[in-house]
Amino acid sequence: MNIHPELRIHSYGHYLRQRFGCRVSKVNVDAGFTCPNRDGSKGIGGCIYCNNVSFSPKDTQPVIPLEEQMSAGMAYHRKRLGSEKFIIYFQKYTNTYGSVDLLADLYQRALNHPDVLGISVGTRPDALSDEAVELLAGIARKHYVCLELGLQSMDDVILSQINRGHTLEDFVSAVGRAHGHNFDICAHLIHGFPGETAGEFLKTAELIAGLPINSVKLHQLHAVEGTRLAEMYRAGEFIPLTLAQYVATAADFLELLPSRVTVQRLYGSAPLAIRVAPQWGLKNNQMWYAVVNELTKRGTWQGCRVDQAKLGLGS
């Protein structure tokens, strides 16, 4: 049974504990990459919502050597959670956007630590070369690898409006090229883009169900200082979801998400100093349980609507 009986979802943390037999934490690092929609090859300015300070611990900065970032992150998780093993998460910007020699050096330096089980690599579907896939496939023969692909929206109009610089077709193609290489594939999704309805967003669950995707990260669209989205909010061009709207749609999404898919994230957060909107006033664990409690209230669980449909018990 994949579904955690209390959480009602197939949580990534539970999956890692079952797979490796101990508490495993992801440690964020900044390897100094940029993005093709920032450096001019696809565009400039980056995504309208992106300010990497919003999700970057103070000890993860590219001027700090990779090994020092890892050491600080592992010490934090050992103390806070009692974690025994770690996955190094190359998080900021596009972490396959460089020469294969550079990538190989960075990934191997992360893997050299005896307490590191593997790596997780955040990237864009249009910045994943065949050489990068081959490199990750080689690493996956001996270590755990998770490839995290930012889709954000399956609507090409929205992708254009938010300055992503890639299409849904790019994402589907990247998943196809990454599949079959013994590493997990994680899709990043955001709900709450201007003009997007809950029903339109829920179609993304059907997309994920039809692709060889192992994991998802989901969060609400939020505006932080230093972004175009913050300007749009102040101009009345972006109206954030309410907490009730987001929780309801996240629960709907989970009910449509196959239970084989692990859930890494259910919310987004940002430091209070740069957070613009929405201001829900909840801590991270409270956000997580807001969604879990909605499933509990409904008496539902991740994948229940998919399971019922297969059994002919519902639509």
Q: What is the DSSP string of 73-118?
A: HHHHHHHHH---EEEEEE-SS-TT-S-HHHHHHHHHHHHTSTTEEE
Give the chain's domain count. Answer: 1
Q: Could you tell me the pLDDT band of residue 310, with boundaries at 50, 70 and 90? A: low
* Section 24-47 average pLDDT: 94
* Section 249-254 average pLDDT: 98
In this structure, is residue 5 part of a structural domain? no
What is residue 281's predicted lDDT score, i.e. its pLDDT?
Answer: 87
In this structure, is residue 7 part of a structural domain? no
On average, the pLDDT of the chain sits at 93
Q: What is the DSSP string of 241-263?
A: PPHHHHHHHHHHHHHHS-TTSEE
Beta-bridge mates of residue 187: 149, 216
In this structure, is residue 6 part of a structural domain? no
Is the confidence at residue 218, as pLDDT, over 80?
yes
Residue bearing tokens 């991740």: 302
Q: Which long-range contacts (CB under 8 A, 24 or more apart) does 289-298 make?
A: 290/243, 290/247, 291/247, 291/250, 291/251, 291/254, 291/266, 291/267, 292/7, 292/8, 292/9, 294/247, 294/248, 294/250, 294/251, 295/8, 295/9, 295/251, 295/254, 295/255, 296/8, 298/251
Higher confidence at residue 152 or residue 284? 152
Q: Could you tell me the pLDDT band of residue 5, with boundaries at 50, 70 and 90? A: confident
Q: Could you tell me the pLDDT band of residue 315, with boundaries at 50, 70 and 90? A: very low
Report the alpha-carbon angle 175-229-168, nearest 5.
Answer: 20
* pLDDT tens, position by position, 118-163: 999 999 999 999 999 999 999 999 999 999 999 999 999 999 999 9
CATH assignment of the domain containing 176 = 3.80.30.30
* pLDDT tens, position by position, 80-124: 999 999 999 999 999 999 999 999 999 999 999 999 999 999 999
What is residue 309's predicted lDDT score, i.e. its pLDDT?
Answer: 61
In this structure, is residue 106 part of a structural domain? yes
Provide the residue range defining the domain that includes 267.
12-306
Is the confidence at residue 60, as pLDDT, over 50?
no
Is the confidence at residue 284, as pLDDT, over 90?
no
Q: Could you tell me the pLDDT band of residue 1, with boundaries at 50, 70 and 90? A: low
In this structure, is residue 313 part of a structural domain? no
What's the pTM? 0.93
In this structure, is residue 2 part of a structural domain? no
CB 20 within 8 A of CB 117: yes
What is residue 217's predicted lDDT score, i.e. its pLDDT?
Answer: 98
| Phi-psi sector, 160: left (phi>0), alpha (psi -120 to 50), beta | alpha
DSSP conformational letter for 22: S
In this structure, is residue 315 part of a structural domain? no
Q: Could you tell me the pLDDT band of residue 270, with boundaries at 50, 70 and 90? A: confident
